[in-house]
Amino acid sequence: MDSARENAVLTMVPKGLFIGGEWRDSSSNTTFGVEDPATQQKLTEIADGTPVDAMAALDACERAQSDWAATPPRDRGEILRRTFELMNANADDLALLMTLEMGKPLAESKGEVTYAAEFLRWFAEEAVRIDGRWSVNPNGSGRLLTMKQPVGPCLLITPWNFPIAMGTRKIGPAIAAGCTMVVKPAQQTPLSMLMLAQLLHEAGLPDGVLNVVTSTKASAVTGPLFDDARLRKVSFTGSTPIGQKLMEQASKHLLRVSMELGGNAPYLVFGDADLEAAVDQALIAKMRNMGESCVAANRFHVHESVAEEFSSRLAERMGEMKVGRGTEDGVQVGPLIDDTQRGIVADLVEDAVGKGAKVLTGGERVGDRGYFYAPTVLSGIADDASLLREEIFGPVAPVKTFSSDDEAVAAANNSDYGLVAYVFTSDIKRAIRVTEGLEVGMVGLNRGLVSNPAAEFGGVKESGFGREGGREGIEEYLYTKYVAVDV
């Protein structure tokens, strides 16, 4: 990749805070550096927002809220639709920017731009389908009218692993529903969100509806917002411990809350599964985003009759994957986001190996620059290995065996998390029985990818609650008002 092209894209990104429709410096006049995880070099500097800036963003929301809620749904939808088109027209630049700040291979970044834009198209279509109910009081003496209204100003906190898609999945329904918002993107990957804000502005989004505050001091910046009763909702994608803290803060003014938290996805392969498909799909479920996804397959539970073959085929395919900077041709595995994340992955592998696991491929850091870790397959996992309980968030596939359906379901459910599970079998009755027994919000049945803007994404247990995308996604941004009508 030509570095002039990289510089050109970096130059296009606004570097300020986006508040009330204007780009401005931080109130403290400070900036912070954004790093390329493949080279450990600074890409650029952007504004480091403060609590004062966050409050200015909430003030902007308040000024815009009532006009925005009264804007015809078709007009709100058209802005989303135009942004969808602008995102596609600028897909190459957005993808390159995402690869530079996050590390994923360019092809995956392009895939994310398409995925992210589709949330805007989906919610452009949902904006005009917000409806209510009209019914006769059971005793016949009056009428019951039920209407849906926007919840009001929202705080949307987005993660670094999918820098745009996790934004549009919240911004799309908030705009469609008539809410205003303060967006706080992850410190590691703010550039994609700043570009998106620019496109939304270009598409005609009124000033103050969307405000973006980038910052290195997440809790200091968001804290005062929770203390202010004008904020009505928080939607967060990130780790379970941070989600729990935000829940506590949200209790002060009893905010509406959507939490898309950690995962520990089991990938179940039964003896009757199509093994080739199970291995192909495992590569997607495990290696999409270098495993840095809350829906990444975290542990493979494979029937003892096919476990050896499955593990060796998976190890062969993962061992062949090209690791490198995501901008380079043919690279399939980029760096992890930072040294902390790579350290967590390395420690989990070390713990499993120390407890008897065998390394079939990988098991080590790669290179001396950038946060690379080799695609890794482990077999012979001990029951007390930490990676069976903890979210790996890296390119590591531990394979464990089972001998009965009940054992497989019990192992799958043996987790505090309940986001997604993957099931591979060619027996429809088993598929239904197992799927019904799983304590998760989503199941991939003979598929390694569940993410889809037209489907409800979300979990149970410590993976959180609320649904993003699909028919339910917009409901998170609406409240129900019932009117008793005297007739």
Catalytic residues: 260, 294
Whether the Cβ atoms of residue 448 and residue 283 lie closer than 8 Å to each other = yes
Alpha-carbon separation of residue 427 from 199, 394, 423, 444 (angstroms): 47, 31, 11, 15
Residue 161 C-beta: closest distance to ligand SIN, Å: 5
Rounded CA-CA distance 107/160 in Å is: 18
Dist CA 365 CA 375 (whole Å): 10
Q: Which two tokens stand for residue 156?
A: 């949307």
Residues in Cβ contact with 308 at an 8 Å cutoff, skipping those fewer than 6 apart: none
Closest CB 107 distance from ligand SIN, rounded Å: 16
Comparing C-alpha atoms, which of 233, 211, 397 is closest to residue 319?
397
Q: How far apart are alpha carbons 193 and 184 in whole angstroms?
A: 9
SS3 of the chain: helix, strand, coil, percent, to 5: 40, 25, 35
Nearest residue to ligand SIN by CB is 451
Measured from the CB of residue 348, what is the shortest distance to ligand SIN in angstroms?
A: 18
Amino acid at 157: I
CB of 172 to ligand SIN, least distance (A): 13
Q: How far is the CB of 426 from ligand SIN (least distance, A)?
A: 26
Instruction: List contacts with ligand SIN (CB under 6 A).
Output: 161-162, 165-166, 237, 260, 293-295, 451, 457
**Which residue pairs, CB below 8 angstroms and at least 24 apart, start in 225-229?**
225/54, 225/55, 225/58, 225/155, 225/182, 226/155, 226/250, 226/252, 226/253, 226/255, 227/252, 228/55, 228/58, 228/253, 229/253
CA atoms of 15 and 212, how far apart (whole Å):
11
Amino acid at 416: D
For residue 445, the minimal CB distance to ligand SIN (Å) is 17
Which of 197, 295 has the CB closer to ligand SIN? 295
